[in-house]
Structures are given as structure tokens and as C-alpha cells.
Structure 1
């Protein structure tokens, strides 16, 4: 359940949610909170939320608080069935809040923004340290997220990378995010026998530059 960059797709939230909440609490929407010209009413009815909580509450903007229970009638075989909500937006670009409860206690909360004016550009590597003794590599994921860190699937723009240090950049440069759901990745491959530090400067065409540093030991 991942794309060509090994970034999990929406359906991966189902697998993440099938774990005891004592290990990790999961609230993963099966949709993107995108309210705009293409989807002015939001996800609409039948929106799925993957979670291992035993109750969720959802609120759209300043609207009423809606309590949800796991859909055990349709998914009796699952230890943690999904939740189904009507997330029809009446007007504007409101935020969405989802709170998770276990045995009556709130244990998690997530916020999602539909207004793109607070969007951010993030850069993250799979590894903070690479080996200088052998050929080593790590993936670097670049993506556009909303102000709360949720993926912005309809975001576009291009990302240009400048790498300093004993490594080679593998992947498209510049990288076009427009057709990739607002996300992409490049790989950094080390040159064996050369120690030091890798510094990657990634610049989004609208959202600025982020810098990432990786140690080579």
C-alpha cells in the first residue's frame, strides 16, 4: 500500500490501525481533507476513518460535535473496525478535528486544515546516520503538508535539490510534485571510504528551502 516512492497510500491506514492501542494510537483518515474548487463539499457522506480507538468525535469548523462508534455491523471480523462519518462541508474552508477515546478518556486528537494558506514544505530522511565504510543509502521524502502536518494531496510545485558532501543524489532533480499527490522522494548514496557530513538543501518553488544534515561515520 505504497506509491513508487514507498510513501504509504491512504489504504495503509487500515493496516496501521489493526494494532492494540497500548502499542500506538491510530487515527488515520481514508480521505484527504481538501475543500476547494474540485471538492467544494469535502469528502461527503461515507468518509472512512481508520482507528483503534473505541470512540471518535468529529467536528467540522464550528459545527456540531458528532460521536462515532466503530462499524462492527459491517466489519465484525476486524478487531478494530473503521469508523464512517458524513463529512459534507456546507460552505467555506473549515478545519476538521477528530478526537479519539478509549474507555471514555481522550487519548488522541488530530486537526486538518482545508485552507492552503498555511501549507508547509517538509523534508525528512529515513536515516540520521550513514556508514562511510561501505556503500550506504537513504531515502529523503519531500512533501507539502497543511499547517498541522497532514498531507496536501492536491499540492503542486517543483523541488530542486543541492547536495554537499561525499554522496550522490539519485532521482529527478527538479522533482515535480504536481502529479504525485504533493509528495516525492530522492535517494542519497554514499561514496565508500569518505567520512564527513551530508547537507541537502531542498527548495520548493513556492514554499521555500529546507535543509537536512546526515552524519557519515
Structure 2
């Protein structure tokens, strides 16, 4: 890896840790530079400002989440649609309620007065997630496994929101502690049942 690439990764790692600990408003470029073990000038050599740093850090996390979801939706010989959706839903919901995602969500909420962050948060987060699920659902509709799907993207929104249930909201509001894998699985199982009642051929 080139020196520039290593330094950029080092800065992004420091930025993620700082944003997650302090939130967007309290995090400063000075604090990020100190956490990354670089000078403030080095940070500005790579990123225009704090918002650009946040966008880059979030974008990388979104890419990792999308890759995990794509892996969960890989079709396996032993799978039926119910098992595939259960696996994907558990993967999604586990990310939504993870401590890192919750801290990132709080940081992003603080930065929502910046249009570029609002746009990025949607495009690199919710939008990519829904598009990934929609691609999978469209394939299943083409095979005749799912039906009544006039718009795969709309069906994907239905699936993702069903997987949220009230679990994600409760965790984000701090009403309940981080859920166990069993609680996540139960929420997703209910979501998959409801989804397949509407869309299974």
C-alpha cells in the first residue's frame, strides 16, 4: 500500500473513533489529528474539512455493510426463500442495532444541517441497502418464487422496514439495551413471515 493510502486510512480510523466517542459537533480536526497520530496539516492535506472527513468515514462503513448484506443474500443450494430472507434480515438488523451504528446515527443527526451529509447518509446508507435487497427480490420474482412485485424497490422497502419492527426504534431511543441475537432473530422471523404472506408465489 502506498504511503498516502496508509496515511489516509490512519486518519479515517482516528476520525471514526473520535466521531463515535464525541459526536459530530464536539469532534474537532485537532482531536482527530491527535487520535490519528498525525498533524492537523496532514489531515487537511487529505480532507477539506470535518464534514468531508465524516462523509469519508461513513462511506467506508456503508460499503462494508453493503458487502455483508450481499454476502448474506448469496444464493446457496440448501436455501429456500424463507431461510435466505431470515439470514439477510438478521444481518441487516444486527448492523442497525450495533453500538457503532447507533453512535454513527447520533453523530449523523447532529450533522444533518449540512446538505451534503443528509444526501450522503441516504445515498450511501438506506438507498444502497434497499437497492441491494431489491436486486435480490427481483431475481426471485423472475424465477417465480415471489409474485405481486410490480416494483422490487418498493418490496425491498417493505422488507427492510418490517425487519426494523419496533426493535430498532427502541434501541435507538435507549428504551431497551442492545438486543441479543435471539431477539433479533425473533423480530426478523416475524418480518419474513409477514413479507412472504404478501409476496410469496
TM-score by length of 2: 0.28
TM-score by length of 1: 0.27
Q: Which structure shows the bigger proportion of residues in strand conformation? A: 1
Greater C-alpha Rg:
1
| Greater RCO structure (CA 8 Å; 6+ sep) | 2
Q: Which structure shows the bigger proportion of residues in helix conformation? A: 2
